[in-house]
Amino acid sequence: MRFALAAFFAFLLTGSLPADDGLDARLRPLIDAHKGEVAIAVKHLKTGETFRHRADEPMPTASLIKLPVMVEVYQQAHEGKLKLTDPITLRKEDKVPGSGLLTAHFSEGASFPLVDAVRLMIAFSDNTATNLVVDKIGLPATAARMETLGFPNTKLHSKVYKRETSVFPERSEKFGLGSTTAGEMIGLLEQLHAEKLVSPEASQAMLEHLKKCDDKEKFPRLLPAGTVIAHKTGSVNEARTDAGIIFSPSGPIVVCVLTAKNEDKSWTAENAGNRLCATVAREVFSHFNPAPTKTE
């Protein structure tokens, strides 16, 4: 207890924890200080060292659920049910609010290949593109695929901004767009890194999509310049989420931070959920990649 309190006060004073502390000592004060629910899972893929906090508890995903949707697209393409080059045509009634480019910048009747809709869904978290993708693969397909992969709590409930389409009404009421656990999400990312999702080529393609995620307010924010990270984020009023692979000098690290019922519902970079995601990523990186000790 004395050590934990000392570590917490060190964080308050300096904004970071001593480099030689364990993951629990680094992350526990951040969890305790956050005004909202938190679930975290971490695994260093080279050493196997892990950290888990409420990692098996279902939580809201917000747009993080678009990562499993992408997996389903590539799986269906692998099975010959569709082609990544299949044309998608944007209709006026397809446009929904929120993040992305299609609603504000693309005209009705615009046509583009399915893989471009996937790129927009992951890089810019485009809500309209997501719904177009979901129309192509079928709404229930993502949850069914995650079940077969061993991730039964990872479910897309409905199309974005179309709650009336929900195939899991009770979960929609509780979690919104989608649900998962921190443990399942790092398990999915571990399979992706091992190139076991769909095929090695598909896994590599999906990693490249995730490396282009343009949300810099969460995991990438406090990491050293030039750090490569493949991740997907989510943001709604009461929840901020991020899950991805940090390619660090000591080896790849899979990290997932899920928050819910956050007191801070602001839409700024300084949102407490954003800052928690960023600080967790920094502390995880620093734990596995300590700064060189200065010598005389």
Structure tokens at 29: 């004060």
Q: Is 50 exceeded by the pLDDT of residue 9?
A: no
Given a cut of 50, whether residue 53 has pLDDT beyond it is yes
Helix (H) or strand (E) holding 236: strand 228-236
What percent of the chain has pLDDT above 90? 91
d(CA 235, CA 113): 27
Q: How far apart are CA 276 and CA 95, in angstroms?
A: 32
Residue 198's nearest CA partner among 182, 214, 209 is 209
Task: Identify the H or E element spanning 287.
Answer: helix 272-288
- Measured between alpha carbons, how far is 202 from 291 in angstroms, rounded to an integer? 35
- Number of H helices and E strands in the chain, helices first, is 11, 10
Residue 1 in this model has a pLDDT that exceeds 90: no
Task: Give per-residue pLDDT as tens, 12-40.
Answer: 433 333 334 599 999 999 999 999 999 99
Sign, CA torsion 213/257/199/150: negative
Per-residue pLDDT for 88 more than 70? Answer: yes
Structure tokens belonging to residue 209: 């999509």
Question: pTM score, two decimals?
Answer: 0.91
Question: What is the structure's pLDDT at 196?
Answer: 97
Q: CA 171, CA 58: separation in Å to the nearest integer?
A: 10
Query: Which own/partner contact pairs does 164-172 have at CB distance under 8 Å and 24+ positions apart?
Result: 165/139, 167/139, 167/140, 167/143, 168/143
Residue 159 burial by Cβ neighbours in a 10 Å radius (0-12, 13-18, 19+): buried
**pLDDT tens track for 157-210:** 999 999 999 999 999 999 999 999 999 999 999 999 999 999 999 999 999 999
**In the prediction, which pLDDT does 215 show?**
97
Average pLDDT of the residues of the chain: 93
pLDDT bracket for residue 296 (50, 70, 90): very low
Q: How far apart are CA 145 and CA 154, in angstroms?
A: 9
pLDDT at site 291: 86
Query: 199-242: per-residue pLDDT in tens?
Result: 999 999 999 999 999 999 999 999 999 999 999 999 999 999 99
| Residue 293 pLDDT grade (very low, low, confident, very high; cuts 50, 70, 90) | low
The predicted pLDDT at position 5 comes to: 43
Radius of gyration of the chain (CA): 19
pLDDT, tens digit, for every residue of 130-158? 999 999 999 999 999 999 999 999 999 99
Please report the domains of the chain, with CATH numbers, ordered by start residue.
36-57+181-289 (3.40.710.10), 60-179 (3.40.710.10)
Residues 132 and 183: their CA atoms lie apart, in Å, by 29
Q: Please report, to the nearest 10 degrees, the dihedral formed by the alpha carbons of residues 63, 231, 197, 122 taken in order.
A: 50
